[in-house]
Chain A
Amino acid sequence: MTASPVIIEVLDRAGAVSARHRCNELPVTLGRAYHNGVIVDDPFVAPAHVRIERRADGSVVARDMGTRNGMHVVPKRRFSLWRDAVTRFEEVVLTADTLVRVGHSTFRVRPVDQAVAPERLDTTAHTWEGLRPAMLAFVMLTLVALFEAWTDDTTTQDSLLYETNVAAVLGALVVWGGFWALLNRLFAGRARMGRHLLIGATAAVVTVVASLASEMLGYAFSLPWLTQFESYVSLTALAGAIYFHMATITPLSLAFARQFAVVFAMLTIGLFGLYRYSKEHRLGDSPYLSSLQWPAMRVATPVSTEAFVKEMGELKARADLRRNDIADGQE
């Protein structure tokens, strides 16, 4: 059986391949000195560090050439035993996924006939970049800002109400979109500012619409809880926006974006709820339904004053249970 060529891949710290070397014949040595087949510029790597060779049974092994820092195997699972990472190996049998660390560098060896994943379906709308989504974002948020200003416009005095509101909202959008564009540039080499602006604007619109809808539904059916959790809805919308922002930064995997957004949502909602509860002894934003809408929109039938007043007995019983929950400290 003729030995097929192998590819030696040197990875950077983030796990991305930084260099590939095709070796038609083994053995080959890896080290810092220029006589090596694979040269690694890492001060913690010996001039001749590892020798990669093929055994009689066809398996490929890496052998430590007597170095100070030795050779280590990077554990497969990220949270695997810490011991794996510090054990020195004299010889390692290399499979396609074995990651070997020498000094601060890692490498793996793959045969040229290594199977690769099928091509990912490209759902990216490549024309939907740059100015077009950015313009849409600005238009959407300008409308939201004008709507909010119009709602607040109950005096004739504040003549710049609309202008200042639009400026503040668009300014905030640019800062938010810019932050994500910067991350995108860092991780993926391009900013995709237009996309990020659109994601931010959409989240803002969703929040405003959800809040209006919950206020109206809550009023119509007399459901206080619908209006009491607006802060939580906003946090969920924010987590959703973060998912889409991260998914836009292409090299980050969708699974990672999803995990991050879910953890973000749980953490912020949990912390906010905890904070609310510690301050107010309730989870909701307000202790009662606080949205009043058109008379025609009310579906719930009103209760009689007698029935409403009768409920006070239950509230009293609840208050009585709390009577001693602060120690008197005076007896």
Chain B
Amino acid sequence: MKASIFLCSIAAVLLTAVASADEVSTPTDGADAAELPPALSRDASRIYAAAKGSLFQVRVLTTTGRSQAAAGSGFVVSDDGLAITNYHVVAKLVTDPKRYVAEVVNTAGERDDITVLKIDVLHDLALIRINKRRGWPALRVSSKTLKQGERLYSIGNPLDLGFAISEGSFNGLVTRPYYPQILFSGAINFGMSGGPAVDGSGAVVGVNVSKRLDGEQISFLVPAQFVTALIEQGKAIAAQPTQQEFRRDIGRQLTMHQNTMAGQLLKAPLSTRAMGYYSAPINETQGIRCWGDDPSQPQLKYRYSRLTCHMESQVMVEDALQTGFINVRHEYFATEQLDSFRFLQFYSKSYRNETFGHFRHRHWTGPECNDAFVKSDGSQSVPVRAVLCVRALRKFEGLYDFALMAATVDDSRSGLHTRVDASGVTLENGQRIVQAFLDAIERRR
């Protein structure tokens, strides 16, 4: 019984432009106010003019053929060439330095190459150094707190069309799921990733990072405090760390992340929702949304309802390697019309229809599984048939994906299927999570 969830699972999309447009117009040296949409206020023109010298576009190119693989934006933060962009803009460069190189192009059309000094995958930031050209002016990073409704200006190179500024307002911090982001009510677009968002004084208050595709002008910025912290951590680094060093750093950050995640989830007993005769445990901590639906239709001879809980964001390490999340799905089946034989056949078919990963995956090992009848000690506990699969993240030692699939087997005309996926966690946390969910599946009085 797997169906894709449409609206509810659309997480914020990252805003790297991927070269797809047929006519890619390169930013010309005359990228001045004349290029901006005419509707902008005088303030925006003034702010753009002030920030213009510090802006650049980041282009990630393939080593062979130098064709553009990703494009984002960035800005200079110190006179000796330190600059900020998003981690996801330069992710290919960090994880696969043999196959990708990067260059930056400023608003005047000057080009340079870059060194990545320090990355923050959890907040999606990267500190880079512009290698040869000096004298691109730095933007000031703000440390003041913002008021609701304050005017902000987001700058970047949307869709590789040329530099642009868009106005919007500050609408508070959202913590989704664990790291605060500024909710910016203004338009930002693919390619603006890594560009600065500035206040009326021209100081950087955030970094463009993502937007919701299912909303209008719902965009997110990384708050400036994390930029300041990253500059502090990385400004003394002279040369680009090796791929191995970056990998260890990412591993350390992912380990930190999963400790936060598991800690949040398990700090109190799991809450439960009633599903038919059963209590279904869920993880309603911050940033996790549960969506229920009841696709039962009159022509079905059974009842079926589903509850899925997704984290609204995951940690993007590189293409096809998203991790650091816990998802939960419950499916309840019951019947009055069907005899138990047919119900159980059907119930088995749904239980059978699960996948746990493939052994040839680049980032994960194949699943190693174990299954058994399991029953916890609780007075209301029910026996379940459970299968548990573990796969290791190939590049990050000590981190695993755990998948639990459990089906209650105490009744022949109703049952609950529970699937829990914990991705990018340590064995200890995986065991705690699995135990917590298994212990909490109960029959209601």
Q: Mark A residues whose CB is within 8 Å of B.
A: 150-151, 153-157, 215, 222, 224, 280-281, 286-295, 298, 300-306, 308-316, 318-320, 322-326, 328, 330-331
A312 touches B390 (CB 8 A): yes
Whether B376 lies near A295 (C-beta < 8 A) is: no
The CA of A150 and the CA of B341, in the complex, are separated in Å by 10
Q: Is the CB of B369 within 8 A of A303?
A: no
Interface centre among A289, A316, A318, A325 (most CB of B within 10 A): A316
Q: In the bound complex, do residue B434 and residue A312 qualify as a contact, i.e. CB atoms below 8 Å apart? A: yes
Is B41 an interface residue, CB under 8 A from the partner? no
CB pair B338–A326 under 8 Å, yes or no, is no
A326 and B360 contacting across the interface, CB-CB below 8 Å: yes
Report the bound CA distance from A224 to B373 in whole Å: 11
The verdict on B391 contacting chain A, using a C-beta distance below 8 Å, is yes
**Closest approach, in angstroms, between the C-beta of B168 and any C-beta of chain A?**
40
Q: A308-B388, A318-B368 are in contact. Are A287 and B344 (CB under 8 A)?
A: no
* Interface residues in B339-363 (C-beta closer than 8 Å to A): 340-342, 344-348, 351-352, 356, 358-360, 362
- Interface assignment of B377: CB less than 8 Å from any CB of chain A: yes
Residues of A within 8 Å of B407, CB to CB, are 292
Q: Interface stretch among B8-16, B274-282, B298-306? A: B298-306
Cross-chain contact A315 with B368 (CB below 8 angstroms): yes
- In the assembly, what is the distance between CA of A291 and CA of B397, in Å? 35
A330 with B299, Cβ < 8 A, contacts A308-B438, A315-B368 known: no
Confirm or deny: B89 has a beta carbon within 8 angstroms of a beta carbon on chain A. no
> Of the candidates B376, B395, B431, which one forms a contact with A328 in the assembled complex, judged by CB atoms under 8 Å apart?
B395
Contact of B365 (CB < 8 Å), options: A294, A325, A328, A331: A325
Given A305-B374, A318-B368, 10 extra CB contacts under 8 A: A153-B301, A287-B356, A287-B389, A290-B351, A298-B383, A304-B376, A308-B438, A312-B427, A319-B392, A322-B359
**Given contacts A289-B385, A312-B431, is CB(A305)–CB(B376) below 8 Å?**
yes
* Nearest-neighbor residue (CB-CB) of A157 within chain B: B299
What are 20 A-to-B residue pairs whose CB atoms are below 8 Å?
A153-B301, A154-B346, A156-B301, A281-B359, A287-B367, A288-B369, A288-B405, A289-B387, A292-B415, A295-B383, A298-B409, A302-B372, A304-B376, A304-B377, A305-B374, A308-B438, A309-B431, A312-B430, A315-B388, A322-B392
Residues of A within 8 A of B346 (CB): 154
Q: Which of A154, A287, A288 has the most CB of B within 10 A?
A: A288
Interface members, chain B 375-401 (any A CB < 8 Å)? 375-377, 383-392, 394-395, 397, 400
Min C-beta distance of A276 to chain B, whole Å: 12
Report how far A295 CA is from B413 CA in the complex, Å. 10
Most chain B CB inside 10 Å of its own CB: which residue of A154, A291, A320: A154
CB distance B374 to A308 under 8 Å?
Answer: yes
Q: Which residue from chain B places its CB closest to the CB of A285 in the assembled complex?
A: B352
Please, how many angstroms separate the alpha-carbon atoms of A318 and B369 in the complex?
10
Chain B neighbourhood of A294, CB < 8 A = 340, 344, 412
Taking a contact as CB atoms closer than 8 A, the residue among A309, A316, A331 that contacts B435 in the complex is A309
Answer whether residue B98 sits at the interface, using C-beta atoms and an 8 A cutoff. Answer: yes
B371 in the interface (beta carbon within 8 A): yes
User: Is B131 among interface residues, defined by CB-CB distance under 8 A?
Assistant: no
B342–A150 contact, CB under 8 A?
yes
Once the chains are docked, how many angstroms separate the CA of A231 from the CA of B345? 18
Complex Cα spacing A330 to B318, Å: 14
Q: Which residue of A lies closest to B369 (CB)?
A: A287
